[in-house]
């Protein structure tokens, strides 16, 4: 809106000169399937596979690449009852004829051509943008097909392109679903089954320039399609970092982070996305929502940045974001502390939060996850011997730790050498007050490395009738332990009822705040004796989420609502809150162009 | 049928009788099943320390210290002292020795301790990952001993048991009980805040962090009358709070019934019911009662109701998320949670009722009482056998597990030979002087000082009633329907329901029932009664079948209660509207004593019992016919006369004509008044 109160379809800030912009080489090609798995997580060359009865990890992108994992092999057999000699093969990549014909009228097709923005109606392009990474998505890819996929993919290359697209969609009764990195775990990029209008998947991947860098104020302006690893790589060469590292940051996009209120592993040092965001532009059917200045904070009525943050593709397309940057830290160091039990670990984390001396990242794995992590070490000799031989004996015999209750806190320190030393000292001091003993850097490092590798395990699991998924929540400190217990109990009882014999239910505390923390659950089960494994999984997760909420936890800390958690949205924000959201939607998108149906089921 | 049900019970004394050495068994290796297995087994002391460390207690200490200027350290010491008074302990050696002693005693006094083993094992299987609460009926001190012994036998952790303070002060026994897992709770009228906050936190601690089953009696106290009591909600609420506030994922309630052939305390109870106070629990008293144990007490039966899971019971109704905001220790119950807690308590008692075992002697007692009510003075053995048989059929029809097929009448009588005799003419009757009267310290009487004569003649009746009462829940509801139909002759369903609901409300403190206000239960009851051809129904309404003995039987066993309530109402009518609470019960007793003395018809001496009188006052209070009022230091019942008259009329129609006030002349001689 300009000063006359007239709605301006175009942004009122001048377009950047393209000479200032940094054209970032994108890691991910337009033909995503050339680099990424079409039906699973991550790079094609990186995956778990079974060779001679032993699990290996392939490729050289990750530190465990090209290594055999005998302990892990044993672990999956023991815990998940997997028979590695009987792999299950999934569907091949569908050929063009197998994909549904796009629903586009001739008129609409003409409109799209007229936009002069690259587009595709090829089946595989549309399929690659029809889903995120929920277990439902992946299972569907491997075993069947989606009921509805986008009809056309468009690749805008700048804010102006997006304005044109949204405008055309609004005028011609088409649907737009913004697509960033496609790492959503809430069903957010899926097409609503019963949407009969033309669905455009607006792929932001070609909108990935760093438009300018402001070293004085330590901010950069980026287009929303830039993905995490590209952003960091470019900034590192300039000596900076944003420091936003969700576990998906190799593949997820800036726009996606803003749209889902993402949280990065190192938020203690750098902040969550809402702390990093200084300015944002969102293109809606009614115009562009943005502020007129690039200030650190302002008092100006309710902050509409928070309508953009977490909008989950329902209100508009985020096109440009001004983000804070920091000088690269001089030093990066890992660490770990083992505790006799989860409760002591949580008490320690609480104390660390109280003293506000969190390092960049601090996480606590429960016993199940600790054991799992331990199993993911290659044959002894490579990663150090922390829990082998003498040290294991020391921990068990001398400290009286029980291997079945022990848990580990992993740490990542960043900063000047001196700062890091001080931080370390403080953390280990607090740790020892709660019965913790330092367990070395290697363990910490492995913990963080696993973060990126864990996502690859699901694909292995699905080859052997194991279905795995994670879900998260935030909770006040005083309820953290009981919440974990309750949820584990509920999942355990559900499994009993469903005759699920082999399953893993693990929890970890992944973030700390002044007033509470974040709990991340992993659940995986062997579905050999179950006919509808995904439905059963969803049923279990639903029970678990009910229990989370009854135990004082939230609907989600960072994954968002999407489609899979709509059930709990009204209860979370009150009836009036629902009205408010609906009114916002009605105001910004009266014809429901952004009909993804996230957060609240949109009327059709 | 039923006998089969009982045949599957296992007598846990059998192995003890046959094994080579009880001692070997007692000292066997134990690896008991916990309610809630923890990685690190919490010690009794750990619980106390955690309570002291808890935010709640620390905040209270802080506050009191600020308000009173008392040192925090001193207050912490006070809490610690309280915790030492409350906290249970666990000493295996004591448990084993006690186990040994109890084996010997058990073998001596009981013919059998019969347990529904299949159910128990199923329950044991469900244990391990959540708090479990055992809720036995409370008819005798033997209850918790039986429970602990059972757990010891079946390799289940001996529960943490809520015990009254009277045990606490018993020399040696107090600490023995503590060492076997008892924790102590003061009476609820004590209003020492620090004590109650500490106690609540202790319960919270053992529920959320403990590993043992918890055991307490929902009825709150030993039922002296043998009747199921209206449940108390205090401890149950404390136990439920961690569930409502999601400190625990679930909690399992196990209703348990213990039925005795003969209750150890029968004489004491009879006295107590009449107002002769119970002796303070003392260790010597306890050993004296041991010496009484030279007698035989027959069988006892332990059966288990279906476990009630908190999650299932409250699931979908209670939204625990309502407690998500503000700290857990500052959470209060919602109104809905309060009312559902009461519902759960009721449900527990109903389930205890369902798994009660009706002994042959219970049926004999019913038959004899019925017989006396009809003005007879004892009955022929053959008649008794016949009556017992059809009463048994009736009970079975209403779902009772009766002992009958496994125990014959003779042996049922043998255990009670001090109370019932068979004369040389083969007549079965109450023994005249069954209780050696002790000298009664009249200053300690809770009720009216009944004359020696009255005492002598009524005690056997009261004792007999102790064995009628355990079966009353199979009778009271049917009886209500019967007396309504006897009066109205023909009544439509809606009217019948209204009348029935009225009686239920009137007796809501007397008979625990799941039926109150429930249309479906009402329908069920009518169906059941129609099935035994007690009532009929056609388009014009409901009516009785031709008068028969079963109708009379139901009426006769119900009348004493109706009559007591009626008498009380009449006394209140004649008062000046303000009745001193302290003397009210005694006045009622003395009135009933007089009525019995001049009776023209049979008035059951059980009407004199203080239990029913107290229940009646509670009911009248609930119905807002009387209201408690404090004047100076005294408490008075303030009577709403108008409503009372109304009530009197409504009750009167259901009584036999001879029992109505115009027929019972001397009633006006006793007056209830504020001046008493
Ligand atoms: C293995 C794995 C690990 C993960 N770890 C984390 C983590 O640590 N922290 C965390 O916060 N999340 C995590 N996630 C979830 C996910 O990565 C985040 O939600 C992320 O922000 C999504 O970004 P994306 O670019 O992939 O968005 P997409 O999946 O493409 O889209 C997500 C939603 O945002 C909308 N959207 C995307 N771009 C735009 C735009 N430009 N304008 C408007 N709407 C848009 C979409 O329409 C959709 O509704 C993880 C996911 C996976 C699979």
Per-residue pLDDT band at B16 (split at 50, 70, 90): very high
B18: buried, middle or exposed (CB in 10 Å: 19+, 13-18, 0-12)? exposed
Report which of B118, B112, B34 is spatially closest to residue B304, judged by C-alpha positions. B118
How many CA within 13 A on the CB side of residue A77?
14
Tell me: the pLDDT tens digits for B35-68? 999 988 999 999 999 999 999 999 999 999 999 9
B539: buried, middle or exposed (CB in 10 Å: 19+, 13-18, 0-12)? exposed
The pLDDT value given to residue A260: 98
The pLDDT value given to residue A13: 55
Query: Tokens 């329950």 map to which residue?
Result: B123
* B538, part of any domain: yes
* Minimal CA separation from B125 to chain A, in Å: 13
What lies within 8 Å, CB to CB, of A413 at 6+ separation is A331, A332, A333, A334, A335, A359, A360, A420, A423, A424
Q: Note whether B246 contacts A479, CB cutoff 8 Å.
A: yes
Any atom of ligand 1 within 6 Å of the Cβ of A244: no
| Catalytic one of A249, A520, A522, A525 | A520
Host domain of residue B607? 461-675
Q: Helices H, strands E: what count in chain B? A: 28, 20
Tell me: the pLDDT tens digits for B619-652? 999 999 999 998 888 899 999 999 999 999 999 9
Any atom of ligand 1 within 6 Å of the Cβ of A183: yes
Please determine, for residue A285, whether its predicted confidence score (pLDDT) is greater than 50: yes
Compute the average pLDDT of residues A524-540: 96
A185-194, A562-571, B535-544: least confidently modelled range: B535-544
A570 — contact with chain B (CB < 8 Å)? no
User: Do residues B167 and B178 lie in contact, with contact meaning Cβ atoms separated by under 8 Å?
Assistant: no
Map residue B282 onto helix, strand or coil: coil
Report which of A549, A557, A573, A548 is spatially closest to residue A515, judged by C-alpha positions. A557
Report which of B420, B394, B293, B405 is spatially closest to residue B359, judged by C-alpha positions. B405
Q: Note whether B249 contacts A485, CB cutoff 8 Å.
A: yes
More confident residue, B265 or A503: A503
* B453, part of any domain: no
Tell me: the pLDDT tens digits for A288-340? 999 999 999 999 999 999 999 999 999 999 999 999 999 999 999 999 999 99
**How does A166-205 read in b/e, with b if 16+ C-beta sit within 10 Å?**
bbbbbebebbbbbbbbbbbbbbbbbbbeebebbbbbbbbb
Compute the average pLDDT of residues B320-329: 94
User: Do residues A246 and A252 lie in contact, with contact meaning Cβ atoms separated by under 8 Å?
Assistant: yes
The pLDDT value given to residue B119: 96
Compute the average pLDDT of residues A154-180: 97
Which chain B residues are Cβ-neighbours of A490 within 8 angstroms? 249
**What value does the mean pLDDT of chain B take?**
89
User: Do residues A462 and A90 lie in contact, with contact meaning Cβ atoms separated by under 8 Å?
Assistant: yes
**Residues annotated in a binding site of A for FAD:** 178-184, 260-263, 312-318
A294 — contact with chain B (CB < 8 Å)? no
Any atom of ligand 1 within 6 Å of the Cβ of A180: yes
* Minimal CA separation from B370 to chain A, in Å: 51
Q: Note whether B321 contacts A571, CB cutoff 8 Å.
A: yes
The pLDDT value given to residue A382: 41
Please determine, for residue B249, whether its predicted confidence score (pLDDT) is greater than 80: yes
Compute the average pLDDT of residues A145-151: 97
Residues B341 and B475 both lie in one domain: no
Interface test with A, best of B39, B59, B207 (most A CBs within 10 A): B39
Of ligand 1's atoms, which has the minimum distance to the CA of residue A227? 25
CA B197 centroid distance within chain: 27
Rounded Cα–Cα distance for residues B297 and B258 (Å): 14
**How does B279-292 read in b/e, with b if 16+ C-beta sit within 10 Å?**
eebeeeeeeeeeee
Which chain B residues are Cβ-neighbours of A574 within 8 angstroms? none
In A, residues 383-412, which contact B (CB 8 Å cutoff)?
A: 402, 404-405
Closest residue to B39, CB basis, from A405, A487, A550: A405
Active-site residue flag, A520: yes
* B404, part of any domain: no
| Structural domain count, chain B | 2
Please determine, for residue A383, whether its predicted confidence score (pLDDT) is greater than 50: no
Query: Please, which residues bridge with residue A284 across strands?
Result: A287
**Closest Cα in chain A to B54:** A478
**Closest Cα in chain B to A405:** B39
How far from each other are the two terminal CA atoms of chain B, in whole angstroms?
Answer: 56
Tell me: the pLDDT tens digits for B250-285? 999 999 999 999 998 888 899 889 887 655 556 666
Compute the average pLDDT of residues B296-324: 95
B208 — contact with chain A (CB < 8 Å)? yes
Tell me: the pLDDT tens digits for A424-446? 999 999 999 999 999 888 888 88
The pLDDT value given to residue B667: 45
Percentage of chain A beyond pLDDT 70 is 93
Interface test with B, best of A550, A571, A574 (most B CBs within 10 A): A550
Please determine, for residue B448, whether its predicted confidence score (pLDDT) is greater than 90: no
> How far are the Cα atoms of A28, A43, A273 from residue A251, in angstroms, in the given order?
8, 10, 16
A492 — contact with chain B (CB < 8 Å)? yes
Final residue belonging to a domain, choices B338, B355, B372:
B355
What lies within 8 Å, CB to CB, of B185 at 6+ separation is B86, B162, B163, B164, B165, B199, B235
Rounded Cα–Cα distance for residues A56 and A70 (Å): 8
Residue A361 sits at the vertex; the CA angle it makes with A360 and A363, to the nearest 5 degrees, is 160
Of ligand 1's atoms, which has the minimum distance to the CA of residue A132? 29
Please determine, for residue B315, whether its predicted confidence score (pLDDT) is greater than 50: yes
Final residue belonging to a domain, choices B315, B333, B355:
B355
- Which of A206, A252, A267 best tests ligand 1's pocket when mutated (most atoms within 8 Å of CB)? A252
Q: Note whether A478 contacts B208, CB cutoff 8 Å.
A: no
Final residue belonging to a domain, choices B300, B324, B355:
B355
B247 — contact with chain A (CB < 8 Å)? yes
> How far are the Cα atoms of A480, B132, B181, B212, B255 from residue B129, in angstroms, in the given order?
18, 9, 20, 11, 19
Residue A516, both tokens? 């509470």
The pLDDT value given to residue B412: 78
How many CA within 13 A on the CB side of residue B69?
0
What lies within 8 Å, CB to CB, of A14 at 6+ separation is none
Q: Note whether A550 contacts B129, CB cutoff 8 Å.
A: no
Residue B565, both tokens? 């309530």
Residue B149 CA to ligand 1 center (angstroms) comes to 60
Which letter does DSSP use for residue B43 in this model? P
Residue A310 CA to ligand 1 center (angstroms) comes to 10
Residue A32, both tokens? 């995503």
CB pairs under 8 A between A and B: 44
Rounded Cα–Cα distance for residues A331 and A417 (Å): 6
- Which of A231, A250, A259 best tests ligand 1's pocket when mutated (most atoms within 8 Å of CB)? A259
Closest residue to B249, CB basis, from A341, A547, A552: A547
Q: How many residues does chain B have?
A: 676
Q: Note whether B129 contacts A483, CB cutoff 8 Å.
A: no
The pLDDT value given to residue A338: 92
Cα-flanking dihedrals φ and ψ of residue A525, to 5°?
Answer: -145, 155
Compute the average pLDDT of residues B280-305: 75
Cα-flanking dihedrals φ and ψ of residue A45, to 5°?
Answer: -80, -5
* B422, part of any domain: no
User: Do residues A46 and A61 lie in contact, with contact meaning Cβ atoms separated by under 8 Å?
Assistant: yes
Tell me: the pLDDT tens digits for A106-116? 999 999 999 99
Query: Please, which residues bridge with residue A57 across strands?
Result: A48, A67
Rounded Cα–Cα distance for residues B459 and B471 (Å): 20
* B468, part of any domain: yes
Per-residue pLDDT band at B185 (split at 50, 70, 90): very high
Cα-flanking dihedrals φ and ψ of residue A154, to 5°?
Answer: -120, 140
Any atom of ligand 1 within 6 Å of the Cβ of A259: yes
Which helix (H) or strand (E) is A57 found in, with range? strand A54-57
CA B313 centroid distance within chain: 23
Residues B669 and B522 both lie in one domain: yes
The pLDDT value given to residue B267: 86
User: Do residues A324 and A218 lie in contact, with contact meaning Cβ atoms separated by under 8 Å?
Assistant: yes
Tell me: the pLDDT tens digits for B484-515? 999 999 999 999 999 999 999 999 999 988 76
Q: Give, using CA atoms, the residue closest to atom 37 of ligand 1.
A: A256
* Minimal CA separation from A296 to chain B, in Å: 32
Per-residue pLDDT band at B457 (split at 50, 70, 90): confident
- B338-346 contact pairs (CB < 8 A, 24+): B338/B237, B340/B313, B340/B314, B341/B233, B341/B236, B341/B237, B341/B240, B342/B231, B342/B233, B344/B236, B344/B240, B344/B253, B344/B308, B344/B313, B344/B314, B345/B218, B345/B231, B345/B232, B345/B233, B345/B236, B346/B231, B346/B512, B346/B514
Which chain A residues are Cβ-neighbours of B208 within 8 angstroms? 482
The pLDDT value given to residue B116: 97
* Minimal CA separation from B324 to chain A, in Å: 5
Percentage of chain A beyond pLDDT 90 is 85
Q: Note whether B246 contacts A478, CB cutoff 8 Å.
A: no
pTM of the entire predicted model = 0.93
The pLDDT value given to residue A502: 96
* B291, part of any domain: yes
Tell me: the pLDDT tens digits for A328-371? 999 999 999 999 999 999 999 999 999 999 999 999 999 999 99
* B374, part of any domain: no
Fold of A210-327: 3.30.465
- In the CATH scheme, what is the code of domain A331-551? 3.40.462.40
Q: Note whether A482 contacts B40, CB cutoff 8 Å.
A: no
Tell me: the pLDDT tens digits for B115-143? 999 999 999 999 999 999 999 999 998 89
β pairing state of B160-164 and B214-215: parallel
Map residue A154 onto helix, strand or coil: strand
Rounded Cα–Cα distance for residues B33 and B156 (Å): 5
More confident residue, A370 or A19: A370
**Closest Cα in chain B to A555:** B321
What lies within 8 Å, CB to CB, of B418 at 6+ separation is B295, B431, B434
Compute the average pLDDT of residues A257-269: 97
User: Taking the domains of chain A in order of start, what are their residue ranges?
Assistant: 210-327, 331-551, 565-589+597-603
Cα-flanking dihedrals φ and ψ of residue A467, to 5°?
Answer: -115, 130
Of ligand 1's atoms, which has the minimum distance to the CA of residue A257? 21
């Amino acid at each position: 809106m300009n000063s006359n109160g007239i709605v301006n379809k175009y942004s009122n800030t001048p377009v950047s000169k393209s000479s200032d912009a940094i054209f970032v080489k994108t890691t991910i090609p337009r033909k995503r399937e050339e680099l990424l798995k079409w039906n699973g997580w991550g790079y094609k060359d990186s995956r778990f596979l079974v060779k001679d009865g032993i699990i290996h990890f392939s490729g050289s992108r990750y530190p465990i690449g090209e290594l055999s994992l005998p302990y892990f092999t044993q672990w999956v057999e023991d815990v998940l009852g997997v028979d590695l000699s009987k792999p299950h093969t999934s569907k091949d990549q569908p050929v063009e004829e197998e994909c549904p014909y796009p629903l586009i009228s001739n008129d609409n097709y003409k409109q799209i051509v007229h936009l002069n923005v690259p587009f595709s109606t090829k089946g595989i392009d549309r399929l690659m943008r029809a889903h995120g990474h929920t277990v439902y998505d992946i299972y569907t890819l491997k075993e069947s097909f989606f009921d509805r996929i986008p009809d056309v993919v468009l690749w805008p290359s700048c804010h102006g392109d997006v304005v044109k697209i949204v405008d055309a969609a609004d005028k011609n009764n088409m649907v737009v679903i913004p697509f960033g990195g496609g790492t959503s775990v809430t069903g957010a990029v899926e097409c609503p089954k019963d949407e009969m209008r033309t669905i455009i998947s607006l792929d932001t991947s070609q909108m990935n320039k760093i438009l300018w860098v402001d070293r004085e104020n330590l901010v950069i302006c980026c287009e929303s399609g830039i993905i995490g690893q590209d952003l960091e790589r470019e900034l590192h060469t300039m000596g900076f970092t944003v420091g936003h590292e969700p576990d998906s940051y190799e593949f997820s996009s800036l726009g996606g982070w803003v749209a889902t209120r993402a949280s990065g592993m190192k938020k203690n040092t750098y902040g969550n996305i809402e702390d990093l965001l200084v300015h944002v532009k969102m293109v809606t059917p009614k115009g562009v929502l943005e502020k007129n200045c690039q200030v650190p904070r302002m008092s100006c009525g309710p902050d509409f940045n928070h309508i953009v943050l977490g909008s989950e593709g329902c209100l508009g397309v985020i096109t440009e974001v001004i983000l804070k940057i920091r000088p690269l830290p001089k030093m990066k160091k890992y660490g770990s502390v083992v505790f006799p039990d989860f409760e002591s670990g949580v008490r320690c984390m609480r104390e660390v939060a109280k003293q506000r001396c969190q390092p960049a990242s601090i996480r606590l794995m429960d016993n199940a996850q600790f054991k799992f992590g331990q199993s993911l070490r290659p044959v002894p000799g490579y990663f150090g011997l922390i829990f082998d031989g003498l040290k294991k004996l020391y921990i068990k015999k001398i400290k009286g730790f029980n291997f079945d209750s022990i848990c580990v806190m992993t740490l990542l320190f960043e900063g000047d050498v001196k700062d890091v030393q001080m931080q370390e000292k403080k953390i280990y001091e607090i740790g020892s007050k709660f019965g913790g003993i330092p367990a070395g850097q290697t363990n910490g490092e492995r913990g963080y490395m696993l973060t990126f590798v864990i996502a690859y395990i699901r694909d292995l699991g699905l080859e052997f009738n194991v279905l795995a998924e994670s879900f998260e929540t935030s909770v006040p400190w005083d309820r953290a332990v009981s919440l974990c217990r309750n949820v584990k109990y509920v999942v355990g009882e559900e499994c009993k009822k469903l005759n699920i014999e082999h399953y893993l239910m693990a929890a970890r505390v992944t973030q700390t705040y002044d007033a509470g923390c974040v709990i991340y659950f992993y659940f995986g089960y062997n579905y050999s004796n179950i006919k509808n494994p995904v439905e059963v999984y969803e049923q279990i997760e639903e029970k678990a989420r009910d229990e989370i909420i009854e135990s004082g936890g939230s609907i989600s800390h960072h994954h968002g609502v999407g489609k899979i958690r709509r059930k709990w949205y009204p209860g979370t924000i009150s009836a009036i809150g629902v009205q408010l959201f609906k009114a916002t939607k009605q105001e910004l998108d009266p014809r429901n162009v952004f009909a993804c149906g996230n957060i609240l089921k949109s009327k059709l | 049928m039923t006998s089969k049900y009982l045949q599957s019970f296992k007598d846990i004394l059998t192995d003890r009788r046959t094994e080579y050495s009880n001692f070997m068994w007692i000292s066997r290796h134990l690896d008991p099943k916990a309610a809630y297995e923890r990685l690190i087994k919490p010690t009794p002391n750990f619980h106390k320390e955690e309570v002291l460390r808890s935010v709640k207690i620390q905040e209270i200490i802080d506050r009191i210290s600020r308000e009173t200027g008392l040192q925090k350290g001193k207050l912490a010491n006070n809490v610690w002292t309280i915790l030492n008074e409350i906290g249970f302990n666990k000493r295996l050696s004591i448990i084993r020795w006690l186990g040994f002693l109890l084996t010997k005693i058990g073998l001596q006094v009981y013919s059998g301790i019969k347990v529904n083993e299949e159910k128990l094992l199923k329950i044991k299987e469900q244990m391990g990952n959540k708090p479990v609460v055992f809720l036995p009926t409370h008819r005798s001190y033997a209850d918790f001993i039986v429970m602990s012994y059972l757990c010891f036998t079946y390799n289940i952790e001996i529960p943490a048991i809520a015990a009254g303070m009277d045990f606490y002060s018993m020399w040696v026994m107090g600490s023995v009980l503590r060492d076997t897992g008892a924790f102590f709770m003061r009476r609820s009228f004590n209003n020492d805040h620090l004590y109650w906050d500490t106690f609540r936190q202790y319960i919270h601690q053992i529920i959320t962090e403990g590993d043992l089953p918890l055991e307490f009696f929902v009825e709150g106290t030993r039922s002296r009358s043998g009747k199921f009591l209206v449940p108390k909600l205090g401890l149950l609420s404390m136990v439920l709070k961690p569930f409502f506030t999601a400190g625990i994922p679930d909690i399992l309630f196990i209703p348990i019934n213990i039925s005795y052939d003969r209750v150890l305390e029968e004489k004491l109870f009879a006295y107590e019911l009449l107002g002769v106070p119970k002796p303070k629990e003392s260790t010597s008293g306890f050993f004296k009662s041991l010496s009484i144990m030279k007698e035989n007490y027959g069988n006892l039966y332990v059966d288990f109701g279906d476990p009630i899971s908190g999650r299932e019971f409250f699931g979908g109704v209670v939204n625990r998320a309502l407690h998500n905001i503000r700290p857990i220790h500052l959470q209060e119950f919602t109104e809905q949670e309060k009312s559902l807690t009461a519902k759960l308590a009721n449900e527990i008692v109903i389930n205890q009722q369902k798994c009660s075992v009706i002994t042959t002697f219970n049926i004999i007692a019913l038959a004899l009482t019925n017989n006396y009510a009809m003005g007879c003075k004892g009955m022929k053995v053959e008649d008794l056998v016949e009556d017992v048989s059809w009463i048994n059929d009736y009970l079975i029809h209403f779902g009772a597990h009766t002992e009958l097929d496994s125990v014959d009448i003779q042996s049922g009588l043998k255990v009670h030979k001090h109370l019932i005799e068979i004369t040389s003419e083969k007549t079965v009757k109450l023994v005249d002087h069954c209780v050696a009267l002790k000298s009664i310290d009249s200053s300690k009487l809770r009720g009216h000082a009944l004359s020696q004569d009255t005492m002598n003649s009524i005690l056997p009746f009261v004792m007999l009633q102790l064995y009628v009462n355990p079966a009353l829940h199979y009778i009271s509801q049917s009886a209500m329907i019967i007396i309504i139909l006897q009066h109205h002759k023909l009544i439509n369903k809606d009217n019948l329901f209204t009348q029935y609901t009225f009686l239920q409300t009137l007796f809501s403190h007397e008979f625990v029932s799941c039926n109150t206000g429930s249309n479906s239960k009402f329908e069920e009851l009518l169906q059941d009664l129609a099935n035994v051809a007690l009532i009929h129904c056609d388009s014009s309404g409901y009516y009785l079948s031709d008068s028969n003995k079963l109708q009379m039987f139901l009426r006769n066993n119900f009348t004493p209660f109706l009559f007591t309530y009626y008498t009380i109402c009449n006394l209140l009518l004649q008062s000046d509207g303000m009745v001193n609470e302290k003397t009210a019960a005694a006045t009622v007793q003395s009135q009933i004593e007089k009525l019995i003395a001049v009776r023209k018809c049979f008035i059951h001496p059980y009407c004199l019992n203080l239990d029913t009188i107290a229940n009646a006052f509670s009911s009248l209070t609930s119905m807002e016919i009387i209201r408690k009022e404090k004047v100076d230091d005294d408490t008075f019942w303030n009577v709403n006369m108008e409503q009372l008259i109304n009530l009197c009329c409504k009750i009167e129609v259901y009584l036999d004509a001879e029992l109505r006030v115009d027929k019972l002349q001397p009633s006006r001689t006793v007056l209830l008044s504020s001046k008493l």
